[in-house]
Structures are given as structure tokens and as C-alpha cells.
Amino acid sequence: MTGARMSTARRELALSTKGFMPADEGEALWDAAVSAAASVARAPMLEVGSYCGRSTVWLGDAAERAGRLLFAVDHHRGSEENQAGWEHHDTDVVDPLTGKMDTLPFFRRTMHDATLEAAVIALVGRSPQAASVWTTPLSFLFIDGGHGEEPARLDYEGWTPHVVPGGLLAIHDVFPDPADGGRPPYEQIYVPAIESGQFDEVSVTGSLRILRRI
Ligand code: SAH
Ligand code: MG
């Protein structure tokens, strides 16, 4: 787009934070969030799946610029593929007292170090339960939570109705070819959004898809 970017300091912080957002997709997420903030009526932004706050730095920066809030939903216990024995497990994020994953301290540290605590509000809990009582329109929705079939479907059903016309829906880990990765974000979120006739595709960067609500 404009070629504008987040500050070098925040970018370096994002890139040094544990997580799963490649640099080019983080930039694309930021571009999309900045453009949504410029073109859509005032409404907050929401991220499902923050982990240690890597993607949250890009989105929080966009929110702060626009004087908006970013809600960051995560139970911080990790997705299936983050658990012990799975591909994306990291023993550093296991709480030795409970033996369970706990990425909340990492997330808090990241928001502190990024000076984004005023712009970002963490919602710590299960996404479908948070969605079940949510009523606020959203200018930007980023879905990167549980990648199993049911979590992905529930995130689609629970959160996408809140995206305002002209607002953006960003979906991570969309793999149309099963050889590239797991299917649920594609089958349970991306395809239903397109087939609903309510979203148009705006951009594709790696596994990141940006759709606009019609
Ligand atoms: N966006 C992050 C990566 C997210 S990983 C980055 O840029 O690195 C997926 C996250 O979704 C994990 O932190 C996990 O705890 C969270 N998650 C999975 N299922 C969830 C659910 N049902 N409710 C809330 N959070 C969930
Ligand atoms: Mg992801």
C-alpha cells in the first residue's frame, strides 16, 4: 500500500517474540488493520489467538495509531498443536507449578515492552464463551485461535457476525492445499465466509487471507 510501516523498535520486538506470525504476514496484517481503521466507522478490533503477543504487536500498533482498542482473546493454555508431544510445543511456556501451558506472562511482558498496554485489552478465557456474550461491532477481526475443526467453526460462527460492513476479516493458516497444512481454517472459516456472499477477498500473503465485509 503506502509503504508505511510500524516503527523499527516495535517490529524488532514482534520478531523477537515467540510465536507463529512470519514477518511478511505481520506486515500485511498491519497494512490491513491500518487501512480498516482509516476507512471504517469507529469500532474496536479483536484478535482470537494471541499466544505470546507476536501478532498482537502489529495489530496493537495499528489500533493505537487509530485511537482504537484491540481486544486480544486467548485462554493462554495453548492449542492442540502446542501441547507436549506436538509439533509446536515449547517447554519454556509450561508453568512448572501446574504443568500446563501458560502464555499469559509472556503476552503481558510483550505488551509491556511494546508500550501497548493502553491500546490492548486481554480477554483471558475460551473464545466461544467470550463470543457468546459479545455484542460490540468490530472494524477488524483476526482469527488465529484453535485450528481444530470445531474451534475454527465456533470462531467463525461466534465472531464474524460482528464485523461491520467495510470492516475486515483476517484469517491465518489458510491452506487450500492439504499438503501445505491443516484444513480447518480454510474449510471452517475461509470457505464459509466466501460462500456466505458477505465477504470479498482483499489480499493473500502466505497463509494470511484478508476479506472485506460487504
Ligand atoms: N497469533 C499468534 C499465534 C496464536 S497460536 C502469533 O502471532 O504468534 C493460537 C492461540 O490460540 C494459542 O495461544 C491458544 O491458547 C489459543 N486458543 C486456541 N483455542 C482457543 C480457544 N478455544 N479459546 C481461546 N484461545 C484459544
Ligand atoms: Mg497462526
Instruction: Tell me the pLDDT tens digit for each residue of 108-125.
Output: 999 999 999 999 999 999
Of 122, 98, 94, the C-alpha closest to 108 is 122
Once rounded to an integer, what is the mean pLDDT over residues 85-112?
Answer: 95
pLDDT band at 2 (very low <50, low <70, confident <90, very high): low
Tens-place pLDDT, residues 12-44: 999 999 999 999 999 999 999 999 988 887 899
- Any ligand 1 atom below 6 A from CB of 145: yes
Q: Residue 66 has what pLDDT?
A: 95
Where does residue 213 fall: left (phi above 0), alpha (psi -120 to 50 degrees), or beta otherwise? beta
CB neighbours (10 Å) of residue 201? 12
Three cell numbers, residue 100:
500446563
Distance CA 24, CA 28 (A): 6
C-alpha dist (Å) from residue 178 to 102, 183, 186, 187: 30, 6, 10, 11
Pocket test for ligand 1, best of 141, 144, 153, 154 (most atoms within 8 A of CB): 144
Residue 7: the pLDDT is: 96
- Residues 68 and 59 sit within 8 Å (Cβ to Cβ): no
**Spacing of C-alpha 169 from chain mean position:** 10
* Ligand 1 close to Cβ of residue 25 (< 6 A): no
Interatomic CA distance for residues 93 and 82, integer angstroms: 10
Amino acid at position 148, single letter? G
* DSSP collapsed to 3 states, 47-83: EECCCCCHHHHHHHHHHHHHCCCEEEEECCCCCHHHC
What average pLDDT does range 84-88 have in this prediction?
88
pLDDT-based confidence at residue 64 (cuts at 50, 70, 90): very high
CA distances from 155 to 10, 27, 160, 170 (A): 28, 23, 8, 12
pLDDT tens per residue across span 136-187: 999 999 999 999 999 999 999 999 999 999 999 999 999 999 999 999 999 9
**Contact indicator for 71, 123 with CB cutoff of 8 Å:** yes
Going from the Cα of 2 to the center of ligand 1, the distance in angstroms, rounded, reads 30
Average pLDDT over residues 50-65: 98
Q: For the whole model, what pTM was predicted?
A: 0.97
Burial code of 58-95, b = ≥16 C-beta within 10 A, e = fewer?
bbbbbbbbbebbbbbbbbbbbbeebeeeeeeebeebbe
Closest ligand 1 atom to residue 52 Cα is 8
| 187 Cα–ligand 2 center, Å | 15
Asked if residues 34 and 122 have their Cβ atoms less than 8 Å apart, the reply is no
Interval 197-207: pLDDT, tens: 999 999 999 99
More confident residue, 5 or 134: 134
Residue 147 is among the residues annotated as catalytic for this protein: yes
